[in-house]
A = this chain, B = another copy of it.
Amino acid sequence: MLPPDVQKLVIGLRAGEQRALARAITLVENDLPGSPLLLQSLLHAQVPRLVGITGPPGAGKSTLVNALLNIWTNEGKKVAVLAVDPSSPFHFGSLLGDRIRMARFYDHPDVFIRSLASRGALGGLHPRIFEIADVVKEAGYDYVLIETVGVGQSEVEIAGLADCTVVTLVPEAGDMIQTMKAGLLEIADVFVVNKADRPEADKLWQNLRILAHQKANGVPETPVLKTIAGKEEGVSELAAAITHQLNTQSHLTERQQYFLVEKVYRLIQSERMKPFSKKALLLQLQEAMRQPNFNIYVFAQQMVG
């Protein structure tokens, strides 16, 4: 039996109440008491609805999300947005607080927006993003958008988590594509060339088309779309491509299975590491380093016991 307060939260969550959702996220985000029980009572409806919007800084991801919100709310859909802000792992603070363009959706009854700092997870997403995504999925939104800033780590994570990953690039990002080729192709379900009115846009679009064409036999080609998010151009085609990708996904992809294993592995890991605090380790390490013949591998072995 769940404690009454968690029970109440779960009921509110399933009813799609925004306040219950916000409180449930806070619970899970901060690993507050009740969080494990809440997570263990999720029904995990297997409806694909998680959309990752990723790409380098300055690619216009927020503007794109804004334009998608516009389209989907006009269709009467409910949309949740998780915005993962970049933050310094040392300062534990988030850098981009203002998402001004989204402002008009903050009070929309069918839209739920939440910013998450990545605080401390080195360069990656929020350390509890999997759990938070599970909570949001439980609230019955038609689309759950996760906007991530950055290239690398967080893109790969988002691709494992999401049912559809939109990789957003701008014409200036040509160099990046050269280095990331294979990685991008693994990650993207849809490519977007945003700010497509800029020079070099066609070249990027062509290069991505060639890249998308290299997929293995039988695998459908990754769509490559052009948008000018600021003018809402090309966005309805993007919305359609996302919806198509979600609707045609009947079972977990290999990538998602791989990621679920990662997720379970991390959950186990966090249990197994509970006896070890980094604060205590620092003190023990400082002490040990004063000894002659200090060796860090010997020290670690002694800590395991």
Contacts and interface: CB of A to CB of B under 8 A. Distances in A.
Given A157-B122, A282-B261, A175 B267 contact: no
B183 A86 contact: yes
How many copies of this kind of chain does the complex include? 2
A87 B152 CA distance: 10
Interface size class of A (residues with CB under 8 A): 35 or more
Contacts of A43: 295
A160 to B, nearest CB: 9
A181 interface: yes
A239 interface: no
A194 to B, nearest CB: 13
24 contacts: A36-B297, A39-B295, A44-B295, A88-B186, A89-B183, A90-B186, A91-B182, A91-B186, A95-B183, A123-B124, A123-B152, A152-B152, A172-B172, A257-B286, A258-B282, A261-B278, A261-B285, A263-B296, A267-B296, A267-B297, A268-B276, A268-B303, A268-B304, A269-B269
Interface of A: 36, 39-44, 56-58, 86-91, 93, 95-96, 122-124, 131, 134, 149-157, 172, 175-176, 178-183, 186, 255, 257-258, 260-265, 267-269, 271-273, 276, 278, 281-282, 285-286, 294-301, 303-304
